Structure formats: structure tokens, C-alpha cells
Chains A and B, each alone.
Chain A
Amino acid sequence: MNAPVDYLLHLADNALILGQRNAEWCGHGPILEEDIALSNNSLDLIGQARMLYQHAAEQIGNGATEDTLAYFRDVPDFRNYTLCELPHMPLMAATSKGDRDFAMTIVRNFLYSSLMVLVWDQLQNSKDTQLAAIAAKSLKEVRYHLRHSRDWLLRLGDGTDASHAKAQAALDQLLPYCQEFWTTSPQEAAALANGTGIDMATLQADWNQIVDEALQEATLKRPAAGGFVPTGKQGLHSEHLGFVLAEMQSLARQHPGATW
């Protein structure tokens, strides 16, 4: 039994786009050790994306490979959460430049990892045995990502006035994007129906608990998440994804088939 291709792409695109975003810190980390830690995180995510793309490409056939899926699809084809594509800075129009904000990076990694420890844990029981194996491997990686981001969240939140303010601002900005986790996309419904996916609604209480416990320890206040519900996983993205893809895909598109 195979998971629906769009469902695999949803999981893969989340990992690839967040991996690409975290890779933007490479060479720019606040300290050397953190620079390496974020690159490690990024490589874990890109590794997850590769396995999922390879699995999807086998089903698509027709010459599809992990590379065609990563580098030759456009914005509406991507199925990632909008959360994963946002820049590491307070939200602004797509072409404006701002300083990369470490608190945004940490809060996003925390919110995403808190979800994915639950998702990968459940997907170990997927009827798609290859997806189940990918889930088992990814679970170990994301447990460390959660540990790393949670640890920094506590240090920033319960740190100085300045670090607390930045962590709170990042949380206020990013938490509403998590509403997308609990909506149902066609690919999630299809995966749930054939026993390869999971019912996201059943994870919400556990996710809330992981988030609330950490926020309390970090002395951060959980903002009311309401208003706009993002639709990235259905292919309707923010203006930011196009810029991520332009940077990520330009080399492969200028030199198709290039190898080291």
C-alpha cells in the first residue's frame, strides 16, 4: 500500500523548505557552534525530504526523480505549510530586507518540531511500509530538533528583557500560522482513507500540551491564534515561497543535470 503522492509531497516539501530556510544561517550563525547546529538541523530535514521524494518519484514514474520534484516544480505545486516558508525576520513585504532574527528561527523550529514528533511517531504505523520506515528514522532526528529549539526557547524567553521581547514577538507572529496544522487538505483526507496517513485532529491536544508546557517554563504568553488560516499545504502560498524557490532552484534550472 502506497501513500498518495501529494501526501508524500506535503511531508517532503515541509522538510525541504524549512531545511532550505534553516540553511540560510550557514556561515551567519550567532556563534560558531550554533551555526553548525542549524546546518545539522537543515541537513536532517533535507535528508528526510530526499527519502520522501524518492518514494514519491517511484510512484510518479515518467522520469521523475528527487531532483525533478525539488527543483522543477513551481509555487502552486508545493504542498508545505506556509509556516515553513516564512523568512527569519518580522513579517514584511517579500522584497524588503531585514535582519535575520534568531528568535523567529527558534520559535518556528520549536512549533514545527513539536508537531513532527507526534506526526512521525504515528506514521510509524502507516500501511505504507516505506513511509513507516522513513518516519522511524525522522522521529529520532526531530526529537533532537525539538530538544534543541525548546532549550533555546527557554533561554530566550526566561533570559534578558531583550531576549524575552524578541521571543514573544516571534511567537505572536508565528503561532497563528499553526492553525493550518488542524485543517484537512485533500491529500491528508486521501491518506487517512487508505490507512497510510493520520488524523491530524487527534494530535492537537498533545501538541497544545507540549507547546503550553514549554511556554510556561519560558515565561512566554501564548497569544490567541485566530484570523487568517494559511493554505500552503493546498498550494496557495504566501509571497515568500517564490523567493525561496528562486534561490534554491536557480542553479539546477540553469544547468539541468549538472553533477559535482
Chain B
Amino acid sequence: MSYQFDFSFLGERWPAFAEGAWLTIQITLVAIVLGFALGTACALTRVYAHPLVRRLVGGYVEVIRNTPLLVQIFIVYFGIASLGFKLSADVSALIALVVNLGAYTTEIMRAGIESIPKTQVEAADCLGLSRLQVIANIVLLPAIERVYPALTSQFVLMMLASSITSQISVEELTAIANVVQSETYRSFEVYVVVALVYLALSLIFRVGFWAVGTVLFFRRRRLGAAL
């Protein structure tokens, strides 16, 4: 069976793809910022807080990491609607993504925080710094630096996972692809194009993270070596 590839739809439909990609980027960025904040806070709790609180946070992490994102999105979207609250699809999706990324970030940051030698913390303590000061000045930034590759990988994965939000009609890139292919019947071409766009986005994000890394960890840039 011969199949004629036809990419002509791009000519007039490309703005739709651009808008979808833009929404994907926006959702991802917000999810990253909020998810990272949540994850770091939880990681600090996991390391420093009262044992009961630690267990609770641990429970949250395990539940999220052992259930599919799709189900989590459904629970947030349909669940909250069933309680009577009117939340837009975008906001529901964002909540689910933030909660999801928070759990993964917690584990990554926890590893980073625990990898800071106790002697560092002890020395800072001996200088009179309070617990909070020690965390802010001695622990956090080096911890982030140590786990930066794992962290940014997770962020890129989150960007790709945002495609799932198309299922609750968030009009991001995948949703746009579904619409266009249903109208043009060029399913193969449409999805190939969208795959390429995602690949490009992955690359852009990775480069972006690398750039942020050189700014944040300027010591590394100066010395040309890792911590």
C-alpha cells in the first residue's frame, strides 16, 4: 500500500502548533518552579523534621511515585469538580503536575542534602550559625549543584509528561496535534511533526538548564570543576 506523505497542512496550521507549544512551555515552567519549591521544602522536612512529619511526607512521595500521572490528573480534575469547585482544566493540570513533580524532586533533593558531609554542618554550627542559616548558606546550593543533572532530567521528563494533560482538554501541543490530525486526516505527518517539536523543546530546555547552571554555580565556572 503506497502512502503519499503530505506535510502541506503545516503551511496554514503552524500558528496553532506554535500556540500549543507555547502553552506547553508555560505549563512546564510554572510546574517546575512550584514543583521544585514544594519538593525542596518536603526534602528539608524529610531530613530535619519530627519523625511523624517525616513519615507523612514519605507517604506522600511513595503514593505519587507508585501511581500513574494520568490517574493523578483524573483525581484532581474530576475529583475537584465533583466537590462543586469550578477549576479550569489548566489549573487542575497544573496542580496535578506540581504535586507529581514535588514528589520526585523530594527524593532527588533529599539525596543531595544528605550528601553534604556532616562535618560541614558541624563546622557551620560551631561558628554559631542557626539551623536555618546553615541550611540556607551551606547546604542548599551545594546540594542542588550535586543533583543538578538528575534534577534537570526530571524537569525535562515533566515537560514531556505534560502531553498527558491533553486528556483533560488542556490545549497544549498534543491536544493541538489531535485536533489537526482529526481535521486533515494526515495523522502520521502531524504526529511526526509534533514529535520533532517536542525533541526541539527538550533540547531547548536542556540548554536552558545548562545556562542557568553556569550562572548559579559560578564557582564551578571559575574553576572548571565540579564540587
On whether the two chains bind one another, the answer is no
Q: Please report A residues at the B interface, Cβ cutoff 8 Å.
A: none
Q: Please report B residues at the A interface, Cβ cutoff 8 Å.
A: none
